Chains A and B, each alone.
Chain A
Amino acid sequence: MNTGAPKTELRPHTPRVLEIDDSELMHRLLRTRLQLEQVEIHCASTGKDGLRMARELRPEVILLDIELSDMDGFEVLHALKEDPVTRDIAVIFISANRETMNRVRCLDLGAIDYVQKPFEMAELKARVRSAIRIQQLMRMLSQRAQLDGLTTLWNRAYFDQRLAAEFSEARRHRRELSLVLCDIDHFKSVNDRYGHPFGDEVLAQFAAILMGGRASDIPCRYGGEEFGVILPNTSLADATEVAERFRHAFESHTWRRHPDLCLSASFGVAELRAVDASEAQDVLLQLADSAMYTSKRLGRNRVSATTFPLAA
């Protein structure tokens, strides 16, 4: 199955809790007391270690002590909220400070809750459970906002964001990156002739073909009957081959309700190496787009690749 598609990321796992506190006594206490909860508990002793582990583990909840040896809890919270990878983690502050303004500050900085030390274990457990519930809902909502409802592929907003991310990653690590854009041929006439429900079925079938591709590829619905597939670590030749498989699979699909119907799609392929070092990811998009229009112009149902002289 395709890991680029959202399904796998929605798979539930045991919620993880990261505790950042410089007290070994506190680590032991929480490990023992939370062992019967349905959570996986990890401990860090410094703010620096905590931030590193937060990035690696992506826990649902962080229990954060305000007073740490290397940095204060507010700095840690700020760093967590600045980083897109850790931003959505629910942070519960644990502090001995009894001042109201201290709680206000924690919550205003983005903490989800605040627990006063010393605390009753039953209360802490309940607050951890509540934070996990809220965090899972938030994560699901943000993911839903990036999904296309009809095809369950990633939507345009996600495509733009992911393309930008993959583009800069590939540049930084000098890796290959290709992009395939595709458009279902004569889709408007299919809709007009067979009705919108069938049009939806065609879109869903095309999406299913894209999702059946390689695990590392990221298929998205770009808009209407247009789709984009981001292919990290993939050369132009390999991406063209992938697109050819998609083209063939769609062309040979038998439509149960209209067995005589033969549909097709046009594909355009571009690779990062054709993009000048001074240019941004939208140039890659333009190259794939114009390759796709070349396919349309040449009679549709084909794959065209950018024929730029390759840069070094």
Chain B
Amino acid sequence: MRDPVPSRSDHQALVPLRSSYCNDREMQELVAYFIDDLTPRMQAIRAALDANEVERLRAIAHELSGVAAGYGFAPIGDVARELEDKARFLQESDDELESEMELSTLSEKVEDLLTLCARALASRESCP
């Protein structure tokens, strides 16, 4: 089974996920912007999951999967991509049983993504 998901409110307990562009002068301001923008984004993801809005989840994941690597957060992009694929699969599937199983893996992916985002948030102070 999966590791227990760390508490989202406790950033201190998380291993910070630093941007690979941490030391790239050109990118410092942008990386900070990306991190600051994560909090509302995480809230939107959480809200979409709670409301079962698969399309909204897919759209948020789609944006992150395209840009996260550009900001030096490739792992966020990778998980976002998996989430996007799952959401699209769920939207296109009309098999109810299959959909139910996918919905649970979807929420697992959402938690994975939220954890990575929380770890990126925790790097706010450690990235110059």
Are A117 and B65 touching (Cβ within 8 A)? Answer: yes
By beta carbon, the residue of chain B nearest A27 is B67
Shortest CB-to-CB span from A120 to chain B, Å, is 9
A32 contacts chain B at the CB level, 8 A cutoff: yes
Query: Which chain A residues lie closer than 8 Å to B62 at the CB level?
Result: 67, 96
Contact indicator per residue, chain A 27-43, by CB within 8 Å of chain B (1) or not (0):
01100110110000000
**A-chain residues with CB within 8 Å of residue B33 when the two chains form the complex:** 28
Q: Give A32 to B63 CA distance when docked, in angstroms.
A: 18
* CB-defined contacts of B69 to chain A, threshold 8 Å: 118
On whether A23 and B70 interact (CB within 8 A), knowing A29-B30, A33-B26, the answer reads: no
Query: Is the C-beta of B14 less than 8 angstroms from some C-beta in chain A?
Result: no
CB distance from A41 to the nearest CB of B (A): 14
Nearest B residue (CB) for A23: B63
Known: A25-B34, A29-B30. A121 touches B70 (CB 8 A): yes
User: Are A96's CB and B66's CB within 8 A?
Assistant: yes
Q: Which of B23-38 contact A (CB under 8 A)?
A: 26-27, 29-30, 33-34, 37
In the complex the two chains form, is B66's CB within 8 Å of A26's CB? yes
Is A117 a contact of B66 with CB atoms below 8 Å? Answer: yes
Contacts of B37 in A (CB 8 A): 25
How far apart are B81's CB and chain A's nearest CB, in angstroms? 7
Known: A26-B67, A96-B65. A118 touches B27 (CB 8 A): no
B33 → chain A, closest Cβ, in Å? 6
**How near does chain B come to A68, taking the closest CB pair, in angstroms?**
12
Residues of A within 8 A of B34 (CB): 25
Contact with B along A52-82 (1 / 0, CB 8 A): 0000000000000101000000000000000
* Size bracket, chain B contacts: 20 to 34
User: Are A118 and B26 in touch, CB under 8 angstroms?
Assistant: no
**Is there an interface contact between A23 and B67, defined as CB atoms closer than 8 Å?**
yes
A25-B27 contact in complex given A96-B81, A118-B74, C-beta closer than 8 Å: no
Residue in B closest to A69 when the chains form the complex, CB atoms: B59
Q: How far is the CA of A2 from the CA of B26 in the complex (A)?
A: 44
Partner of A32, one of B30, B65, B67: B30
The distance in angstroms between the C-alpha atoms of A118 and B27, with both chains bound, is: 17
- B64 (CB) vs chain A CBs: closest residue: A25
Cα of A28 to Cα of B36 in the assembled complex, Å: 14
The winner among A32, A36, A94, A96 for most chain B CB atoms within 10 A is A96
Are A118 and B63 interface neighbours, CB within 8 A?
A: no
Interface 1/0s, chain A 94-122, versus B by CB < 8 A?
10100000000000000000000111010
Across the interface, do B30 and A118 meet the contact criterion of CB distance under 8 Å?
A: no
Closest to A30 in B: B70
Which of A25, A65, A67, A117 touches B71 (beta carbons < 8 Å)? A25
B49 at the interface (CB under 8 A from A): no
Neighbouring B residues of A35 by C-beta, 8 Å:
26
- CB nearest to B21 among chain A residues: A121
Query: Given the complex of chains A and B, what is the CA–CA distance between A205 and B81 in angstroms?
Result: 66
B66 touches A28 (CB 8 A): no
Digitize A148-163: 1 where CB-to-B-CB distance is under 8 Å, 0 elsewhere: 0000000000000000
Q: B16 in the interface, Cβ–Cβ < 8 Å?
A: no
A29 with B81: CB separation less than 8 A? no
Q: Report Cα–Cα, A121/B26, bound state, in Å.
A: 13
Q: Which residue of A lies closest to B29 (CB)?
A: A32
In the assembled complex, the Cα of A23 lies from the Cα of B64 at a distance in Å of 9
| Residues of A contacting B26 in the complex (Cβ-Cβ under 8 angstroms) | 32-33, 35-36
| B residues near A96, Cβ cutoff 8 Å | 62, 65-66, 81, 84
Residues of A within 8 A of B (CB): 23, 25-26, 28-29, 32-33, 35-36, 65, 67, 94, 96, 117-119, 121
The list of the 8 closest CB pairs from A to B, nearest first, reads: A118-B69, A117-B66, A25-B67, A29-B70, A23-B63, A26-B67, A118-B77, A32-B30
7 A-B pairs whose Cβ atoms sit less than 8 Å apart in the complex: A25-B34, A32-B29, A33-B26, A33-B70, A96-B62, A118-B65, A118-B66
